[in-house]
Amino acid sequence: GLADGGGVPEATPTPVVTTGETPPPGFVQIPDTIGLSAEEAIATASEAGLNWTLSCNHDESLEPRVYDQEPPAGTPVAPGSRFTMFYPRTDPCD
């Protein structure tokens, strides 16, 4: 019946690349810039060899830190790939 729990595997490998894993040869891994200041995020994206963009908004209700990014952290991409970080202030983009 439903209560026997029969044959549940102990660990199931997942194909998702997460932060800390090595990307495939010829690829770089998208860094996690969420929560970083604009300066830290730009330095991190540059160090990873990405073609980054800082998308600035005017939202004083959010802390002045990167609040989202695309693609997500851990995604393997070719060097020079587009990477967008979303920042709630306009001052770094002025």
**Secondary structure string (H, E, C) spanning 39-76:** HHHHHHHHHCCCEEEEEECCCCCCCCCCCEEECCCCCE
Q: Are 90 and 56 in contact (CB under 8 A)?
A: yes
Instruction: Please identify which residue in the block is written with the tokens 């983009």.
Output: 93
Question: Does residue 3 have a pLDDT over 70?
Answer: no
Provide, rounded to the nearest whole percent, the portion of the chain with pLDDT above 90: 66
Q: What are the tens digits of pLDDT across the range 60-74?
A: 999 999 999 999 999
Question: Does residue 16 have a pLDDT over 50?
Answer: no
For residue 38, the surrounding DSSP H or E stretch is: helix 38-47
Pick the more confident residue, 87 or 94.
Answer: 87
Q: Are 46 and 52 in contact (CB under 8 A)?
A: yes
